[in-house]
A and B are shown apart, each in its own frame.
Chain A
Amino acid sequence: DAKTTQPTSMDCAEGRAANLPCNHSTISGNEYVYWYRQIHSQGPQYIIHGLKNNETNEMASLIITEDRKSSTLILPHATLRDTAVYYCIVRVGWNTDKLIFGTGTRLQVFP
């Protein structure tokens, strides 16, 4: 199972871009990278996922390196409500649904 490594915590000023890195050096060719976030005492919220190409949606952008060994989640204009724990997850197996959570990055957005 591919494992992920994320910084324990990060700070970001409100209105600035938050760039959250993730290393997944043992990822397999058919494994997707998923990002979820969890606001205190709530269930995780899906943000974005990708395989090889960079992805963008209304919440964030996902940049995956060409060798797929790392990725970066970008919140273009962070707000105080983006304060949460962000999890980078590599999907276990290509035809299973299991998501194994690592320790995540605690993002604190300050005014």
Chain B
Amino acid sequence: GAVVSQHPSRVICKSGTSVKIECRSLDFQATTMFWYRQFPKKSLMLMATSNEGSKATYEQGVEKDKFLINHASLTLSTLTVTSAHPEDSSFYICSARGRRGDNEKLFFGSGTQLSVL
């Protein structure tokens, strides 16, 4: 099946710094990728939709200036958490569409655990 690679798997940073998370589709082109965050023992919450070559679409309540998304190529989307604070500590997960069609599946990366000190 299609593979989505996410890097880094874990990052610890100081409060006030920015952290970049990469999401790559390894064996397919992904015009659309999605970013989720997940708090402990909670479900995944969709943050934004990343579109190749255009601006990302953010879900209600998600600060676009806080969570910068760049989808510069068909295989790479990045999420930058700017001026991170302890409340931004969370598990961030990306996903990408496998192929076109109504039966398309979304494949997920392995996630990034962000801890802000």
Contacts and interface: CB of A to CB of B under 8 A. Distances in A.
- The number of chain B residues touching the other chain, given as a range, is 20 to 34
Contact of B110 (A43, A94, A98, A101): A43
A43 B6 contact: yes
Contacts of B70: none
Contacts of A45: 108
Interface in B82-117: 91, 93, 95, 97, 102-111, 113
A38 B95 CA distance: 13
A87 B43 contact: yes
A32 B103 CA distance: 9
- The number of chain A residues touching the other chain, given as a range, is 20 to 34
Given A44-B95, A101-B44, 14 more contacts: A36-B108, A43-B93, A44-B44, A44-B93, A45-B108, A46-B1, A46-B105, A46-B107, A46-B108, A87-B43, A97-B106, A99-B46, A101-B36, A102-B43
22 contacts: A32-B102, A32-B103, A36-B108, A42-B111, A43-B4, A43-B111, A46-B108, A49-B103, A49-B105, A94-B102, A97-B34, A97-B104, A97-B106, A98-B49, A99-B34, A99-B106, A101-B36, A101-B43, A101-B44, A101-B46, A103-B43, A104-B43
